Amino acid sequence: MLSLGSQPMSRGNDLSDISRLEAKVERLEAQLSAKDREIATMTRTEAKATAALKSQIDKLQQERDEFQKMVLGNQQVRTQQIHEMKKKEKEYIKLQERLNQVLMEKKKESRSGMEIMNLLQKEGRQRGTWNGKKTDNDFYKKIVDAYEAKNQELVGENADLRALLRSMQVDMREFLNAPNGKQSSPVKTRVDSDVSQSPLGGRTDMFDLPLHMARDQIEESLRTKMTSIKERMVQLQDAQKAAELTSEVSERELELEAQLVEARSIIQEQFILSPDALKCLLTISDLCGMLKVVDKYSKFN
């Protein structure tokens, strides 16, 4: 009798346990669905973050490539500027040598007049020993021949000097107008305003004028161009220093970009393995384990 009475009570307890388990299973299934939704949301968020990070990495890679191209371009420009500066220094030394040569040849002109005077004085001392009109004619003819020969020599030297000055003027103008970098506006203004004009106006070449008419203009033109050449040399040196500074900054920026990419990859890994994601994964594992237990219990009953 006791065993028969205890069986209905045990069945009632089993039924109540099953109902509690079923309610618990429903609650767990609801939690599982919520967790699945959270996982789906986190997966979408992670996919978006991964895509954004990938696009950012691609953008940084592109910017780094462009930056490297710019650095290489700056290095090439720097090398070209150094080469041009050495070339201009050689041209500057050559111009100085040619100017010294012009000054030396100018001193020779002053000595030629003294040679004619010495010739006249020498012939004058010998005139007292001459006799007749024929001797006087020979004396004057010698003087005229000597004057003409010296005059032709001076004319040739003057033509050579004019050609040399004109060539120097052209060389200096080409040097100042060479497209090898930025030039300050005062230098450019002086070079553009340097037009060969005569003191009386017009477009006559000043090197074809007499010395007393064109001397001031020639000296002023040479002084202006020498000043412009000095300023250009200073500009080239400043450009070289700026190129060196740009190269140093470029190397530092490349290092910083590499560090930035490495930091972002670490952040991505930390985001994927964050505590919330781990907690969610652990909760899902527990739910799955409990569902397996419930299934086993139902089969047993």
pLDDT in tens, 18-70: 888 888 889 999 999 999 999 999 999 999 988 988 888 889 989 889 998 99
CA distance 270 to 229: 62
The pLDDT tens digits of the residues spanning 64-117 come to 899 989 999 888 998 988 988 888 888 888 888 888 888 787 776 666 656 656
Write down the pLDDT at residue 44.
92
- The reply to whether 140 falls in a domain is yes
pLDDT of 201 higher than 50: no
Helical packing angle, 185-192 and 133-176, nearest 10°: 140
Query: CA of 87: how far to CAs of 98, 222, 279, in Å?
Result: 17, 21, 72
Write down the pLDDT at residue 114.
61
Burial class (CB in 10 A: 0-12, 13-18, 19+), 214: buried
Higher pLDDT, 282 or 71: 71
pLDDT of 143 higher than 50: yes
Please, what is the average pLDDT of the chain?
Answer: 72
Q: How confident is the model at residue 164 (pLDDT cuts 50, 70, 90)?
A: confident
What token pair was written down for 64?
């780094």
pTM (predicted TM-score): 0.32
Greatest mean pLDDT among 7-21, 37-51, 126-140 lies in 37-51
- The reply to whether 252 falls in a domain is no
Higher pLDDT, 152 or 198: 152
- The reply to whether 268 falls in a domain is no
Domain that holds residue 117: 14-244+274-300
Q: What is the domain count for the chain?
A: 1
Greatest mean pLDDT among 9-13, 69-73, 142-146, 265-269 lies in 69-73
Q: Quick one: CA torsion of 241, 242, 243, 244, rounded to 10 degrees? A: 50
- The reply to whether 269 falls in a domain is no
- The reply to whether 240 falls in a domain is yes
Q: How confident is the model at residue 278 (pLDDT cuts 50, 70, 90)?
A: very low
- The reply to whether 259 falls in a domain is no
3-state class of 198 per DSSP? coil
Write down the pLDDT at residue 300.
45
Greatest mean pLDDT among 39-53, 186-200, 227-241, 261-275 lies in 39-53
- The reply to whether 5 falls in a domain is no
Write down the pLDDT at residue 41.
92
* DSSP summary character for residue 181: S
The pLDDT tens digits of the residues spanning 286-295 come to 545 545 554 5
pLDDT of 120 higher than 50: yes
- The reply to whether 42 falls in a domain is yes
